[in-house]
């Protein structure tokens, strides 16, 4: 199958929650290198609160994204609350009327999230932020839509693009966010936001793949 | 293992707020949003003064809520910006149709959340204008002042902005005074030991014994230089040599000097440091009009101190002298 049912999307959100929980310490330690160390904990707090509050019941992919986004935005704060909140809410709103989601739909959904983010942050690709993960991921998806690539294959390519994007931040000098004050000293360390963004996108891809396989 | 007094580290902020409200019930009260604290008995018809920031900096930020300073504060997780909703609710709690001044520090999370709160406030008919503190000299070069972080200079910005509002200044006047205050203020910090986020349980950066970090940030952001620990006299010299030329403060300038501990340095040592700072400032023929020494803006249990200097003019002098009654700053 080359589409998945939106209403089966809970598994995707559960995978996103799990990856953040499993990487809480890693993200915190990474953030401590050039940031203030709060990234892992705040992400974990937000995602775990979402799990506790919503995961007893079933929900669709887009409803899950919306509730997670609202929770991060309204209850977690920090930098990541508004950033991921905006991305997830933007994605949810773009896809909430869809019963089934194709590769093209998913690409448009992610693009809506990306566009929402571009309205609130000044960072662009190359600034050593999560944009460096999100941008190439989206580009990979969009290319595969045009090429007519199989959904599962496109998801694997998207994961690889996200990982490569995140790793590309290592050699960059931060120009945005808290670590931008470090200048050259930020070189050599991965940007934490780009790593959490990779983890989330990879979990999203894995979750969708699992639904696609079931069919 | 870090020796801490806590129950669940994830609840530390809520439990701290609860304890604070019980202790200082003559000054502050709770609001419908449990992450927004407001001053009691806010005078009628004045511009609202709000701020907000991450927790772990006590007395900042909630310790500066009260008479003639901040009217409400949005409280974030440890070292993490409050939500946009909390900033909005803080504004709503103090809005008297005269507008609200949001005076906060330059951090990306705070910037984003305040920006979103201002947008939401417009829809609800509330005008919020902001001043972003950027007094930390070590955090970016002078030609990139807009990138500098806000540190202890924020207290002087709240003092001035709050006093201007208490005098009956309109929103633009309050914003102008607060902006002037922060534009006239420069700070630098030194770190002697790291701090530990309660939920992390281990320090996220290192300062080796016998070393110190010049220009360290309020969350342990790396500074300009790591060097061997110096005497109080030498530390004072280093700090003065960073702060004074940046503004620059000149002969016959009248200034406020604020020396704050970062949490774990005994107040006794802060006075030792101030003693040296005062001597150095005097040799430069700069006049100390007023000085504050103590734990005014901390970073959990970091050892170290910040030095903040603000140049005064006639207006700022009057405003700095106005009485204030908050947990962190009481002045007759």
Per residue in B136-192, pLDDT (tens digit) is: 999 989 999 998 999 999 999 999 999 999 999 999 999 999 999 999 999 999 999
Q: How far apart are CA B152 and CA B158, in angstroms?
A: 10
**Residues B112, A176: C-beta atoms closer than 8 Å:** no
Residue B147 token pair: 């990138």
- Would you state the structure tokens that stand for residue B11, as one six-digit string? 């609840």
Q: Do B83 and A76 touch (CB under 8 A)?
A: yes
* Residue B1 confidence class, pLDDT cut points 50, 70, 90: low
pLDDT for residue B26 is more than 80: yes
| Mode of pairing for the β-strands spanning B36-39 and B72-78 | antiparallel
For the segment A83-100, the average pLDDT, to the nearest whole number, is 96
- B323: DSSP letter: -
pLDDT in tens, B46-80: 999 999 999 999 999 999 999 999 999 999 999 98
- Tell me the three-class secondary structure of B257-314, residue by residue: EEEEECECCCHHHHHHHHHHHHHHHHHCCCEEEEEEEECCECCCCEEEEEEEEEECCH
Q: Which domain holds residue A65?
A: 3-214
Q: CA-to-CA distance for B72 and B127, rounded, in angstroms?
A: 15
Which residues sit opposite A102 in a β-bridge?
A3
CA distance B81 to chain A (A): 4
The gap between the terminal CA atoms of chain A, to the nearest Å, is 7
CATH number of B11-183: 3.40.50.10440
Tell me which chain A residue has its CA closest to the CA of residue B205: A32
A76 vs B contacts (CB less than 8 Å): 77, 83
**Looking at chain A, how many residues does it have?**
215
From chain B, the residues in CB contact with A49 under 8 A are none
Would you kindly state where each structural domain of chain B is located, as residue ranges?
A: 11-183, 185-312
- Phi, then psi, of B289 in degrees rounded to 5: -80, -35
| Mean pLDDT, chain B, whole residue set | 96
B107: nearest Cα among B150, B78, B77:
B150
- For A90, the token pair is 């933007």
Helix, strand, or coil here: A61?
helix
Which of A21, A35, A49, A78 is the best residue to mutate to test the B interface, defined by the most B CB atoms within 10 Å of its own CB? A78
Task: Test A82 with B204 for CB contact under 8 angstroms.
Answer: no
pTM of the model: 0.88
Kindly report the nearest CA distance between residue A35 and chain B, in angstroms: 6
Q: Do B217 and A79 touch (CB under 8 A)?
A: no
* Helix A39-54 × helix A192-214 angle, to 10°: 30
* CATH classification at residue A50: 1.25.40.340
CB spacing of A40 vs B200 below 8 angstroms: yes
Question: In chain B, what residues touch A128 (CB-CB under 8 Å)?
Answer: none
Nearest Cβ partner of B221 from A28, A78, A178?
Answer: A178
**DSSP secondary structure, A106-171, as one string:** HHHHHHHHHHHHHHH----TTSSSTHHHHHHHHHHHHHHHHHT--HHHHHHHHHHHHHHHHHHGGG
pLDDT tens by residue, A5-16 = 999 999 999 999
Whether pLDDT at B237 is above 90: yes
Q: Which of A33, A36, A82 is nearest residue B84 as measured by Cβ atoms?
A: A82
CB A199 within 8 Å of CB A166: no
Whether pLDDT at A178 is above 70: no
Can you give the pLDDT at residue A181?
57
pLDDT of residue A66: 97
B221 pLDDT band (50/70/90 cuts)? confident
Hey, are the CB atoms on A37 and B84 less than 8 Å from each other? no
Best of B9, B35, B81 to substitute, by most chain A Cβ atoms within 10 angstroms, is: B81
Pick among B90, B104, B109, B120 to test the A interface (most A CBs inside 10 A): B109
pLDDT band at A184 (very low <50, low <70, confident <90, very high): confident
Query: Could you give the ipTM of this predicted complex?
Result: 0.74
Q: Do A38 and B54 touch (CB under 8 A)?
A: yes
Q: What is the pLDDT of residue A27?
A: 92
Fold of B185-312: Hypothetical Protein Tm841; Chain: A;domain 3 (3.30.1180)
Taking the CA of residue A175 and the nearest CA in chain B, the distance in Å comes to 10
> Are B329 and B320 contacting, i.e. CB atoms less than 8 angstroms apart?
no
- CB-based burial of residue B37 (10 Å sphere; 0-12 exposed, 13-18 middle, 19+ buried)? buried
CB contact under 8 A, A82 and B220: no
Which residues in chain B have their CB less than 8 angstroms from residue A177's CB?
A: 108
Of A25, A78, A179, the CB nearest to B80: A78
Q: State whether A32 and B76 contact (CB < 8 Å).
A: no
As for how many domains chain A has, the answer is 1
Mind telling me the catalytic residues of B?
57, 219
Q: What is the mean predicted confidence (pLDDT) over B35-51?
A: 98
Contacts of A175 in chain B (CB under 8 A): none
């Amino acid at each position: 199958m080359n589409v998945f049912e939106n209403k089966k999307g809970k598994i995707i959100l559960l995978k996103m929650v799990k990856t953040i929980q499993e990487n809480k310490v890693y993200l915190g330690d990474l953030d401590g290198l050039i940031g203030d160390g709060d990234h892992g904990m705040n992400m974990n707090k937000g995602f775990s609160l979402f799990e506790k509050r919503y995961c007893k019941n079933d929900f669709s992919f887009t409803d899950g994204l919306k509730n997670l986004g609202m929770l991060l935005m309204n209850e977690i704060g920090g930098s990541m609350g508004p950033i991921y909140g905006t991305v997830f809410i933007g994605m949810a709103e773009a896809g909430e009327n869809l019963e089934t989601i194709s590769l093209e739909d998913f690409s448009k959904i992610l693009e809506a999230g990306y566009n929402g983010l571009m309205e609130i942050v000044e960072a662009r690709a190359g600034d050593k932020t999560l944009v460096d993960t999100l941008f190439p991921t989206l580009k990979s998806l969009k290319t595969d839509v045009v090429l007519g690539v199989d959904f599962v294959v496109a998801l694997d390519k998207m994961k690889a693009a996200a990982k490569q994007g995140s790793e590309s931040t290592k050699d960059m000098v931060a120009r945005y966010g808290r670590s931008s004050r470090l200048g050259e000293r930020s070189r050599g360390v991965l940007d934490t936001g780009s790593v959490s963004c990779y983890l989330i996108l990879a979990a999203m891809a894995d979750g969708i793949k699992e639904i696609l396989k079931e069919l | 293992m870090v020796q801490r007094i806590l129950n669940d580290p994830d609840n530390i902020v809520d439990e701290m707020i609860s304890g604070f409200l019980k202790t200082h019930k003559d000054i502050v009260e709770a609001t419908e949003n449990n992450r927004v604290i407001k001053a009691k008995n806010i005078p009628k018809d004045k511009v609202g003064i709000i701020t907000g920031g991450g927790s772990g900096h006590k007395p900042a930020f909630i310790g500066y809520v009260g008479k003639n300073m901040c009217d409400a504060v949005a409280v974030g997780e440890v070292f993490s910006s409050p939500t946009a909703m909390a900033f909005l609710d803080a504004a709503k709690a103090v809005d008297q149709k005269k507008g609200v001044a949001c005076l906060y520090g330059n951090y990306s999370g705070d910037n984003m959340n305040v920006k979103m709160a201002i947008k939401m406030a417009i829809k609800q008919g509330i005008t919020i204008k902001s001043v972003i503190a950027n007094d930390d000299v070590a955090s970016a070069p002078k030609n990139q002042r807009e990138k500098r972080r806000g540190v202890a200079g924020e207290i002087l910005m709240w003092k001035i902005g709050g006093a201007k509002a208490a005098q009956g200044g309109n929103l633009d006047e309050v914003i102008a005074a607060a902006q002037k205050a922060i534009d006239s203020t420069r700070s630098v910090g030194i770190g002697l030991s790291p701090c530990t986020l309660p939920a992390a349980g281990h320090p996220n950066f290192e300062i080796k014994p016998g070393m110190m970090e010049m220009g360290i940030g309020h969350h342990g952001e790396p500074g300009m230089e790591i060097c061997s620990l110096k005497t109080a006299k030498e530390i004072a010299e280093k700090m003065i040599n960073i702060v004074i030329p940046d503004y620059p403060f000149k002969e016959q300038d009248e200034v406020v000097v604020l020396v704050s501990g970062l949490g774990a340095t005994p107040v006794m040592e802060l006075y030792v440091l101030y003693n040296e700072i005062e001597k150095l400032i005097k040799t430069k023929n700069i006049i100390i009009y007023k000085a504050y020494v103590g734990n005014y803006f901390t970073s959990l249990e970091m050892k170290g101190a910040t030095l903040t200097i603000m140049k005064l003019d006639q207006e700022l002098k009057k405003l700095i002298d106005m009485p204030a009654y908050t947990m962190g700053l009481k002045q007759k």
